[in-house]
Amino acid sequence: MKHGTSDRKIGPLTAEEYIEKGKSFHGSMAPGLLIGGFMVDYARKNLPGGEFFDVISETGHCLPDAVQLLTPCTIGNGWLKIIDTGRFAITFYDKSTGDGVRVYLDPKKLESWEEINSWFFRLKPKKEQDSEKLVAEIIDAGPEILSHEPVKVRSDFPARPHKEHIVLCSSCGEAYPEGHGEKCMGCSGLLPFI
């Protein structure tokens, strides 16, 4: 069944509204951001109860921005964590129980969606992709290309750490968390500066 951008919803937004909001936040309407919107909506509809949830994104590309656009979970507040497994998947889970749902772009469901399949598996260079057709296919497919599974997040999964005592670096004089060592991580060679 085909859908137009005016009748397909992504959370509380029409697809058109989400695309505009996504362009403003992400810089462009990337296919992964659009699919991510459907993933967030699908996850929220399948979340097993609980009002307070955290999110794990298994990629740092596009998907975290969809989470930040449609939920209060952000990298900055610590409710969104990125564990880069290289898979296009997100997990929403109850903060207190660990009960959750993992939603992923299902490769088996892409066979009937030529443009999405070609984009996802990088079968054509970006310049050869038909971006309008790709966006239309993503909107038409909506959650039909997704799968989900119940998960239980381990209780020892790191929560946001408590803020440490702040000290001044003996090398550069800037403030940093004392637990990082005798010098700040920048002066210890973590940054790519020459």
Domain span at residue 194 reads 161-194
CATH of the domain at 54: 3.30.1330.130
Total number of domains in the chain = 2
Q: Does the pLDDT value for residue 25 go beyond 70?
A: yes
| Residue with the two structure tokens 């490769």 | 107
Q: What is the pLDDT of residues 142-158, one digit of tens each?
A: 999 999 999 999 988 86
* Residues 16 and 112 occupy one common structural domain: yes
Give the three-state DSSP class for 167. Answer: strand
Q: Does the pLDDT value for residue 98 go beyond 60?
A: yes
pLDDT cut 70: percent of the chain above it: 93
* Residues 143 and 193 occupy one common structural domain: no
Residues 129-142, mean pLDDT to the nearest whole number: 95
Residues 185-192, mean pLDDT to the nearest whole number: 88
Residue 2, domain member (yes or no)? no
Quote the pLDDT of residue 163.
Answer: 72
Rounded to 5 degrees, what are φ and ψ at 48?
A: -80, 80
Instruction: Report the relative pairing of strands 166-168 and 175-177 from DSSP bridges.
Output: antiparallel
Quote the pLDDT of residue 102.
Answer: 97
Q: Does the pLDDT value for residue 35 go beyond 60?
A: yes
Separation of alpha carbons 70 and 48, rounded Å: 18
Separation of alpha carbons 5 and 27, rounded Å: 20
* Residues 122 and 82 occupy one common structural domain: yes
Residue 3, domain member (yes or no)? no
Residue 4, domain member (yes or no)? no
Kindly state the tokens that stand for 181: 């060592």
pTM of the model: 0.84
* Residues 111 and 153 occupy one common structural domain: yes
In this structure, of 10-14, 51-55, 76-80, 99-103, the range with the lowest mean pLDDT score is 51-55
* Residues 71 and 148 occupy one common structural domain: yes
Quote the pLDDT of residue 50.
Answer: 67
* Residues 93 and 182 occupy one common structural domain: no
Quote the pLDDT of residue 6.
Answer: 53
Q: Does the pLDDT value for residue 174 go beyond 80?
A: yes
* Residues 148 and 182 occupy one common structural domain: no
Instruction: Report the relative pairing of strands 146-152 and 99-105 from DSSP bridges.
Output: antiparallel
* Residues 37 and 119 occupy one common structural domain: yes
* Residues 50 and 61 occupy one common structural domain: yes
* Residues 86 and 27 occupy one common structural domain: yes
Residues with Cβ < 8 Å from 85, sequence gap 6 or more? 58, 59
- Fill in the DSSP letter of residue 135: H
CATH of the domain at 193: 3.30.60.80
Quote the pLDDT of residue 1.
Answer: 39
* Residues 19 and 36 occupy one common structural domain: yes
Residue 1, domain member (yes or no)? no
Residues with Cβ < 8 Å from 13, sequence gap 6 or more? 21
Residue 66: closest CA among 20, 117, 7, 26: 26
